[in-house]
Amino acid sequence: SPTELLFVETSSTTHRVSYESWLASRGLMMSPFHLRWQTTMFNRLFAYCARIRPRALYIWFNSGLVFGVVAMVGSVILLIKTLQQTLAQMTSDNPRIGGQQTLQVVVRSHRTSGQWFSTSHRRLSLFNLFTSLFSVQVPGVNLPTSQLAYFFIALLLSGVIHELGHAVAALREQVRVNGFGMFIFVVYPGAFVDLFTTHLNLISPIQQLRIFCAGVWHNFMLCVAALGFLFLLPVFCFPCTPLELGLRHRCDSADGPRGLSVGDIVTGLEDCPVSGVEDWTHCLSLLSHTPQTGYCVSSSLCLFLPVAYKRLDGTIDCCSNNSLTDLCFSYTKPQGKGYACMPVRKMVTGSRVCRTDEDCAHPQISSVCVTPSLENQTRFIRVTHPPHSHMLFVGYPPHLHHAVSLTNFVPRFGFLHLDLPVFIETFCKYVVSLSGALAVVNSVPCFALDGQWMLNALLEATLVTVVTDRQKRELIGFFLLLGGSALLAANVALGLWMVTAR
């Protein structure tokens, strides 16, 4: 009946109004794919930060102003260079160009603009989801899903530090901060500060420029701090031993379960010394692309002639019992190739590496250079990890690379987690990448980014005596912003195409 229908509609409206009031009272706003929270609880903290050491803050934000202007020019040069490299890579078949693509920028956007205007205030919201990386990073494609936590936490930290810079700079210039907030768009976190527009319009263009440049300045300094922490990581990790190796999975030796254990110190792969994670990767790559290393053994060990079997790939196997302790070796003899099935650990322990018989020449002992008879891509590798005996690995070198997890530092004390230095190092690298990228992207003179307001304030501060007509100054700013926006959009489009096309 009409009465019942009216009651249902009234009840539904009442619940909706109550729900919206409940969200508003807690500073929450929800819409499809977007959750935002705003509060004033940090206003006192911002005000306190704006009052400490006024002279130091004056120098700090003036330095940020200079950096912001330089970064605005530098970001345009960077994007032009990136665009040239991307186009060169797209139009060239030379694979080396791909290795030179170190400045490719990918931007992820969302509909929330960098600043909003209303009748009462302006929101200086960081376009946090404009994530510029110097190489294309797509979660689940070339960004490992296991490192998504580093990505999102570093992104949120970079955004918060960015907005902290805007808020403190604004309060120092006597501009009221209405509140601070954070948001999640789809799965990406972000932050913003809400500034009072009337106060912002009353201050001089130089004061405005200090506020607008503070965000990218703080991102840059966060990037520098993370880089400094990375360089000083050996000092901070004083309770850690240098270069140890931890395992994700057990890695057994070729002659039985004598593999690597968590905390073993790795010092070499064959005759390739290892003094860091980079050395480990380099040595494995080198062993993958060079012929199998040989070993000098006494000629007397090669007297027994076993039955040799030819594999499908043409290589020879002479150890038919599939023993875990024996391996088939080949050597050169006057009649041609010879093969011997020998106990692998006994044979290679203390042996010199060699390439030919000349490398094994000895005035008193008759020696020959024997080489493991293995499939084409398979390698025999001695992993040195004193004080234990060598781990003997037979297989594809990339399997060894993925079977173990290395770190340059491992805690000396049992109560510290083995991967703690790795966590710190990886997080610092993400902070450097994301915070530096946000500083670059937000410096671009582009609509809806900090660069828009930085450019407008810069033009008002420098062209007011040269171009007296305000409309002409705004027209100049519009065309500059249009060019910057097109440049950034071209980099975004080509960067995303480079990811999806491959």
Residues in the chain: 502
- In this structure, how many other beta carbons lie within 10 angstroms of the beta carbon of residue 314? 8
Question: Active-site residue among 163, 244, 270, 460?
Answer: 163
* 378 class by beta-carbon count within 10 Å (0-12 exposed, 13-18 middle, 19+ buried): middle
Q: Are strands 34-39 and 177-185 parallel, antiparallel or unpaired?
A: antiparallel
Is the distance from CB of 211 to CB of 450 less than 8 angstroms? no
User: Rounded to an integer, what distance in angstroms lies between the CA atom of residue 392 and that of residue 377?
Assistant: 16
Is the distance from CB of 123 to CB of 215 less than 8 angstroms? no
Q: Where are the alpha helices (DSSP H) in 404-448?
A: 420-443
Measured CA distances, 446 to 56, 114, 187, 379, 397 (Å)? 31, 10, 24, 54, 48
Q: Which residues pair with 330 in a beta bridge?
A: 339, 371
Measured CA distances, 39 to 230, 289, 500 (Å)? 34, 59, 39
> Could you give the angle at which helices 54-91 and 450-462 cross, rounded to 10 degrees?
120
SS3 for 165? helix
User: Rounded to an integer, what distance in angstroms lies between the CA atom of residue 169 and that of residue 494?
Assistant: 36
Q: Across 334-453, where does the E strand assignment appear? A: 336-343, 353-354, 367-372, 379-384, 391-395, 404-411
Of 224, 223, 230, 208, which is closest to residue 438 (Cα–Cα)? 223
Q: Give yes or no: 278 in active site.
A: no
Each residue of 114-140: b (16+ CB within 10 Å) or e?
bbeeeeebbbbbbbbbbbbbbbbbeee
Give me the active site residues, please.
Answer: 163
